[in-house]
Amino acid sequence: MHPVLFSIAGFEVHTYGVLAGVGFLFGVTGAAILGSRPGPRGGFSWDFLWDLAIVLIVGAVVGSRLEYVRTRWAQYAASPVEILDLRDGGLVFYGGLIGAVLSALVYIRWRRQSAWRVLDLYAPFIVLGHALGRLGCFAAGCCYGAPTDLPWAVVYPMGGKPPGGVPLHPTQLYEVLANVLIGGVLLAVRARGPRGGATNGDGLTFAALLLLYPAFRSVNELFRGDGIRGAAVGGVAAGGLTNGQAISVALFAIGLVIAWARWPRGSPDPAIAADQPD
C-alpha cells in the first residue's frame, strides 16, 4: 500500500491520481495513434482525435466524480469543498464511462463523424487505461476485497482504508488482469471486423465492451469487501445488487441491443468482398 507517491513542500501527490492520469493519457494516445492510420476503420484526422481526447477526459472526470459523490452524498453534504479533491481516489469508473460516452456523442455529432467507428476505436483503450487506474486503487487501498484464505491474498498494513492485518481478495488486481485480457480481445475484434473487415459491422467492438466488462464486473463485485460502495437493490449484506452490479446489468442489456442491431445481416461491401480470396 503506497497511497502517497511523493510530497513537494508539504503538498502530497497521490499514487491513485497519478496512475489515473497516466491511464487517461495512455488511452487517448493509443486511440489517436491507431485511429489516425488509414483504412476503413481509421483515417481520422489527428486534430479531431486530440480535440475529442479533451472532451473525453473532461466528460470522464466529471461523470466519475459525480457518481462517486452521488453514492456518498451524506459525506460530501457536510463538506462540499472536498468534492474537488481528486488526489486520493474518489472516481467511479462507470460514472466516467457514461460521462465520457455522452460527451463524446455530442462532440462527434457536431463534427459529423461516425459515432460507431469512434466508439469502436476507443473501446479497447477504455479498459486498458482503466487497468492502470486499478493499480492506483490497489496502491490507495480503495476497492479492496473481502477476507479470504486463498494463497494469493493480500494483507494491508494497519491504519489504512482496508482492514489491516487481514488476508483479502486482491480485487483491484483481478480487475487489472481482466481489463488487459478484455482490451486484447477488443483490439482483435476491431482489427478483424465482421465478414473480413466489412464496415457494416461498426459498433460491434463497443458492444463487446458492454458485454465483457460488465459480466466480469458483476462477478468481481462478489469478492469486494468495501461495503460503502452502496447497494442499488435490497442491500449488500442482504444479498441485493450492489450499485456496480445494477449498472452492469443495464450496460450488458444495452450491449446486447447494440450487438443485435449492428450485426451485419446482408452481403459484405462488394468492393471489400472482391478483395477476399476464393
What would the mean pLDDT of 57-69 be, rounded to a whole number? 88
Higher-pLDDT residue of 218 and 236 is: 218
Q: Could you tell me the CA-to-CA distances from 135 to 61, 139, 153 in Å, in that order?
A: 18, 6, 16
Confidence of residue 192 (pLDDT cuts 50, 70, 90): confident
pLDDT at 255: 97
CA distance 257 to 227: 31
Q: Band the pLDDT of 198: cuts 50, 70, 90.
A: very low
CB-based burial label for 271 (10 Å; 0-12, 13-18, 19+): exposed
Which cell goes with 206? 463497443
Say if CB 49 and CB 104 are below 8 A apart.
no
What pLDDT does 238 receive?
Answer: 44
Per-residue model confidence (pLDDT) at position 5: 74
**Distance of alpha carbon 5 from alpha carbon 278, whole angstroms:** 58
d(C-alpha 80, C-alpha 64), whole Å:
16
Residue 132 has pLDDT above 90, yes or no: yes
Residue 110: in which H helix or E strand, if any?
A: helix 93-111
* pLDDT confidence of residue 277: 42
CB 139 within 8 A of CB 15: yes
Helix (H), strand (E), coil (C) string for 167-226: EECCHHHHHHHHHHHHHHHHHHHHHHCHHHCCHHHCCHHHHHHHHHHHHHHHHHHHHECC
State mean pLDDT over 169-180: 97
Nearest residue to 221 (alpha-carbon basis) of 159, 145, 274, 160: 145
Which of 21-35, 226-240, 243-257 shows the lowest per-residue confidence on average (mean pLDDT)?
226-240
Is pLDDT of 145 > 80? Answer: yes
User: In the chain, what are the helix, strand and coil shares in percent, each to the nearest 5?
Assistant: 65, 5, 30
Long-range contacts of residues 51-54, Cβ cutoff 8 Å, at least 24 apart: 51/107, 51/111, 52/104, 52/107, 52/108, 52/111, 52/118, 53/28
Domain boundaries, the chain: 4-263
Share of the chain above pLDDT 90, in %: 57
Q: Where on the phi/psi map is residue 267: left (φ > 0), alpha (ψ -120 to 50), or beta?
A: beta
Res 84 pLDDT > 70:
yes
Helix or strand or coil: residue 9? Answer: coil
Helix (H, G, I), strand (E, B) or coil at 276: coil
Instruction: Determine how β-strand 4-8 pairs with β-strand 11-14.
Output: antiparallel
- pLDDT score at 77: 72
Which among 121, 117, 115 has a CA at the least distance from the CA of 103? Answer: 115
